[in-house]
Structure 1
C-alpha cells in the first residue's frame, strides 16, 4: 500500500475531497497538508489535515508570503509523518513546498505536479508570463510527472509554452462513483414546472451569471436558473444581491460530490457547462466538473463552440452547442423546445457509456498503481519519519 503526501493549495476546495476519495479507494495511505481559504472543521474524507495557514483567492502577494512562511515551518508541521513514496503537489504554489518536504525526507521522493487550471499569468508572452513559467520550471525541477485534467492543457500549454519537461498524465474530472451512504433521494420531474438550467460547481464567471439572468428574463418565466456550489465572491460586485434581484434565478448553496449529485441534477433539465472566467485561455481548454456531473445524471449539457467541452459534446453527439456565449445564442438554441425534443436530447445523454463520466474502483486502483510505480525500487527507510502536527499556522 503506497503512502502519499498530498500538498494542496486550498483544503476547503471540494475537488480536494474528491481526489482524496479516489486515492484512498485506490489503496493509498495519504497524509494531507495545505492552505485553506475557508474554515476547516474536522477530517476531510476521513483524513486529518495539516493546515499550513489561511490564503485568499486572487491575492497573489499574500499567497506568496504564505508559501514562504509555510516553507520556513514545514519541517515542524510535518514532523513525525512517515516518509512518503510519492509527493503530490496540487497547483504551482505547493511545488515549492514539495521540494522542501522532499529535502527533509532525503531528496529521493518523486514529486507529481497536479495542475488542473492554467492561470492567465502563466501564458503571457511578456515579462510577467515568462517569469511565472521560469518560476514553474524552478519549483518543478524535480518533478517526475504532471497530472492534468484536459488534453487541451497538454497540447496548448505543457507541450508548447511550459518550460517543464516531464511526462503528462491525463486524469479527467470524472465523478467518483458514489456509495449508498448519505445519498439524497432523486426527485421526479414535474411536467408543469418551467424548464430548468443548472449552473453548479465553482461559480466564478461573471459573463455566465449575467447571460443566464438576461436569458431567463427574456424567457419570462419559461426557464428557471438554479445555482449551486461555491461562488467566487471576489469575481462579482455583489453575487448575493444580484441573484436576489433576479425573478427567475436562485442560489441553493453548496453540495456534496458525489453524494448529492443525483438529487440536484435530478431537479434540472440542462447543465450549463460553459465558463468565460479566463475566456480564450483556461476557459477554452478546461473540461469542468459540471460536464461529468451533469452527463452522468442525465442533464443535457450546454457548451459554447470553440471550447474543449464543446468538442466532447460533438464527439458524443449530445447536448447543445451555442455559436457564442450570449443570451441570444442560448435563446436560439432553446427556440421551439418542447417535451418531445427534450426527450430526444435526454435520451442521447443516457445512451452514452457511463465510463465517459464516472470513475470506478478499478480507475482508482490504476491511478494509485501508477503513482506507486514512480517510486524508486527498494525498501523504504523506516527511520525517515517525523510527527505530524496539525497545529501549524502562519
Structure 2
C-alpha cells in the first residue's frame, strides 16, 4: 500500500478532507500533517489523527512564514513516530518547504509532489517581494517530481510563462468526490419556486469575497424579495469588515452555516435554483483563473451557474453552452441578467446543465485509483533513475576486478 505523507496549510479546510478521502479511496495510506487556522469538526476524517504543527492566521502571510520556519526546525521530532513514506505532498508553497525538509529527514529518494490550487497574489508581484517568492518556489519546486494544479489557466497564465518551474503537470480539477456507484447518484430535478416564493441563489464554500457579498446584498434589495441569497460554508472573516453584521442587516441574505462535503451537497444545492460561481478575491489574478469547487458541485446537482465574463469559469461554461453570464460586476447588470427570470427561462437553463455528461462534474473511485497509481509511478521512476545513476559506479567496480 502506497504511504503518502501529506502536508497541508489548514487542517480545518474541507478541501483537505476531500483530497485525503480521494487518496484513501484510491488505495493509499495517508499520514496527515499541517497547521490549523480554526476548529471545524466537519473536516475531521475518520481513522486519521493529524499531526498538528501549529496555528496560523488567515491573510497573515508573515505569521505563516514564521510558523513554517519554526516547524521546519522541529519537524524531525514531530515525525519521529511516522513510518518512512513513499511519496510526500506539499499543499501550496509553504507546505512544499516542509515536504522537502521531511524528505531530507527520512533520507532516500522518495518523490515530492507540489500541489498548488491557488496562485497567491504575492507570487504575481513584479517587485522584489514577488521575485523573491518566485525564486523560492523555483528552488523548492526544483526538487519536486510532479506539479498538481486545478485549472488550465493556472498553467497557461502562471506556471509556464512565469514560475520557472519545469515539472510534469497533472491537472486535477475541483470535482465532486462521488464514491458511490454512478447508478446510485440521483439525477438532478428542476425546482422552480412555488407561487409567491423567491428564486434562490446559493453561494457555497469558501466565503472570502467582500465584493460578492456587497453585490448580492445590493441586488437582492433592488429585487425587493424576488431573489433570496443563501450562504453556506466557512466565511474568511479576515476579508470582511464585519461579515456577521452585514448578513444580519441584509433582508434577503441568509447564512445557513457550514456543511459537510461531499455528504451534504445534494441537500444544499437542491434548495436553490442558481449557483454563484463568481469570486473577486484577488480580482484579475487568481480569481480570474480558477475553476472553483462550487462550479462542479452546482453542475452535478443541477444548479444553474452564474459566472462573470472574461474568467476561466466563463470560458468553461461557454464551451458547453450552459450557465448565465454577467458582463459587468455590479447590481444593475445582475438585475438586467436575472430580473426577468421566469419558469420557462429557468427550465431551459436547468435542462442545459442537467443534460451534461455527469462525469465532468465528479471524481469516482476509478479516478481515485488513477490518482494513486500516478503517484505510485513517481516512486518507480525514481527507482529507475537511481539504478541508472548507479551504473557508472558498477562498471568501475567491475573494471577493478578484471
- The verdict on a shared fold, with TM-score over 0.5 as the criterion, is yes
Is the CA contact (8 Å cut-off) linking 1:12 and 1:37 kept in structure 2?
yes
Which structure has more RCO (C-alpha within 8 Å, separation ≥ 6)? Answer: 1
Is the CA contact (8 Å cut-off) linking 1:199 and 1:227 kept in structure 2?
yes
Larger radius of gyration: 2
Is the CA contact (8 Å cut-off) linking 1:17 and 1:45 kept in structure 2?
no
2:53 aligned partner = 52
Residue correspondence of structure 1 range 238-317 to structure 2 within 5 A? 238-317=242-321
Of Structure 1 and Structure 2, the greater helix share is in 2
Residue correspondence of structure 1 range 72-87 to structure 2 within 5 A? 72-87=73-88
Is the CA contact (8 Å cut-off) linking 2:192 and 2:346 kept in structure 1?
no
State the number of aligned residues: 376
Q: Which of 233, 238, 260 does residue 229 from structure 1 map onto?
A: 233
1:385 aligned partner = none
Give 1:43 shift.
4.7
Is the CA contact (8 Å cut-off) linking 2:308 and 2:327 kept in structure 1?
yes
Is the CA contact (8 Å cut-off) linking 1:178 and 1:259 kept in structure 2?
no
Give 1:335 shift.
3.1
1:382 aligned partner = none
Give 1:76 shift.
0.9
Give 1:82 shift.
1.5
Is the CA contact (8 Å cut-off) linking 1:114 and 1:148 kept in structure 2?
yes
User: 2-side partners of 1:328 and 1:164: how far apart?
Assistant: 43
User: 1-side partners of 2:146 and 2:239: how far apart?
Assistant: 32
Give the secondary structure class of the aligned counterpart of 1:342.
helix
Give 1:167 shift.
1.2
2:375 aligned partner = 371
Q: Find out whether 1:334 has 2:335 as its counterpart.
A: no
Give the secondary structure class of the aligned counterpart of 1:143.
coil
Unaligned 5+ segments in structure 2 are: 385-402
> Cα deviations across residues 116-169 of structure 1 (Å, max 9, x unaligned)?
000110011111111110111122221111000000000000000102211111
Over the aligned positions, Cα root-mean-square deviation in angstroms equals 1.9
Give the secondary structure class of the aligned counterpart of 1:280.
coil
1:160 aligned partner = 161
User: 2-side partners of 1:125 and 1:223: how far apart?
Assistant: 42
TM-score, with structure 1 as normaliser? 0.92
1:175 aligned partner = 176
Residue correspondence of structure 1 range 198-209 to structure 2 within 5 A? 198-209=202-213
Is the CA contact (8 Å cut-off) linking 1:22 and 1:176 kept in structure 2?
yes
Residue correspondence of structure 1 range 176-191 to structure 2 within 5 A? 176-177=177-178, 179=180, 190-191=193-194
Residue correspondence of structure 1 range 112-191 to structure 2 within 5 A? 112-177=113-178, 179=180, 190-191=193-194
Give the secondary structure class of the aligned counterpart of 1:332.
helix
Give 1:89 shift.
0.4
Is the CA contact (8 Å cut-off) linking 1:43 and 1:49 kept in structure 2?
no
> Cα deviations across residues 188-232 of structure 1 (Å, max 9, x unaligned)?
664121000000000111110000000000000000000010110
